[in-house]
Amino acid sequence: MTARRRASFLVAAIAAATALVVIAIIAPRRAAAGWLIGFVYVSAIPLGSLALLLIHRLTGGHWGDSLRPVLMPAAACIPLLALAFVPVLIAMPTLFSWAADASAVKPDVAHLYLNMPLFTLRTFIAFIGWTVLAMAMARPVRAGTLWAAFGLLFYSVAISLTSIDWVVSTEPTFVSTSFGAGFAVMQLLAALSFAAMLGPPTLDLKARRDLGGLMLAVALGLTYIDFMALLVIWYGDLPDKVDWFVKRTLLPWRWFAIGAFVLGSAAPILLLFLARVRANFTALRVVAASFLYGLALYDAYLLAPVYGAWSLLTAALAVVAMGGVLIACIDANWPATLFARWTPREAAHG
């Protein structure tokens, strides 16, 4: 990507952020809701990239070496995510019913978990840990498998808690024990799809096949987790949980569910079953674009019904604002370059 194209992404990001500021003055809840939806979507790429780097540090494999030029700069943008989350913290009473009124949840839940200080503390600890792990993964050595193992453990616990905080707690009467796992797998799929979109066309045949196989496996995993959650909740006939799904059968959310299933699951999975698709770089990019569009619809399906259809407009602006900065930074590779400068000298020559 040329400097001019990077500048165009930044200009688009600034324009979208400016529009959001104007909307925030007129309708603060609508702007805050869009920012939260956009954040959940965009943050999946750096966090999923970190998880993939940790997995590769443990398992090795040609796929990780080939995708590292995209995954490492993406993971290095995690500190920028922490800054992007500040507006959510500021708007918590607007976004979360339990933050505005503690009686929205059970007293023990409000005291021990769903309150503003602990919400902020959990998010702060998560971002600190993820940033430290991203810095560790910047080391160009293959040692540190124990560090990667503990890193994956931290990632798993942190993403389980933050996914509940950022998404599930917007409707605190709804509970899902599988949501954290599905959220983590969704981030892996977003990162793999992003790597396919931004990866160099010079990826060799083995790397392309590995990438296609990984996207297929992760997409099947996400589809299975979501389907089993729906099956168990629906046939369990628990009013609070079923109501969550019933609300999303209304228009326009029903179409978002259908679009998310078709673009984010059925169509790309069927394509990836074909070996010639997994071996063709252009075809992989088409599949990756389908996954990214499907995941955008899925995130909107999860959060937008809480805030209304108008939050989709501000969510689109938020995605442009955050995504433009993210793509420009990843392409320029400057966060990863900063991390490399902090890497110990002996590791750089290890």
Examine residue 55 and state whether it is found in any structural domain, yes or no.
Answer: yes
Q: What is the pLDDT of residue 338?
A: 64
Examine residue 313 and state whether it is found in any structural domain, yes or no.
Answer: yes
The runs of H, that is alpha helices, within the chain are 3-26, 28-59, 62-75, 78-84, 86-90, 92-95, 97-100, 107-112, 116-137, 145-166, 179-198, 205-236, 239-247, 253-261, 267-272, 275-279, 281-307, 311-332, 334-342, 345-348
**Which parts of the chain have pLDDT scores under 50?**
345-350
The residue segments making up the domain with residue 198 are 3-169+176-343
Examine residue 349 and state whether it is found in any structural domain, yes or no.
Answer: no
Q: What is the pLDDT of residue 349?
A: 36
Examine residue 147 and state whether it is found in any structural domain, yes or no.
Answer: yes
* Separation in Å, CA 59 to CA 62, 148, 182, 210, 242: 10, 10, 22, 14, 40
Examine residue 309 and state whether it is found in any structural domain, yes or no.
Answer: yes
Examine residue 303 and state whether it is found in any structural domain, yes or no.
Answer: yes
Examine residue 308 and state whether it is found in any structural domain, yes or no.
Answer: yes
Number of domains in the chain: 1
pLDDT in tens, 125-167: 999 999 999 988 887 655 578 888 999 999 999 999 999 999 9
Q: What is the pLDDT of residue 346?
A: 41
pLDDT in tens, 234-247: 777 766 677 788 88
Structure-block tokens of residue 316: 């689109």
Q: What angle do CA 87, 88, 92 make, to 5 degrees?
A: 120
Examine residue 350 and state whether it is found in any structural domain, yes or no.
Answer: no
Q: What is the pLDDT of residue 37?
A: 97
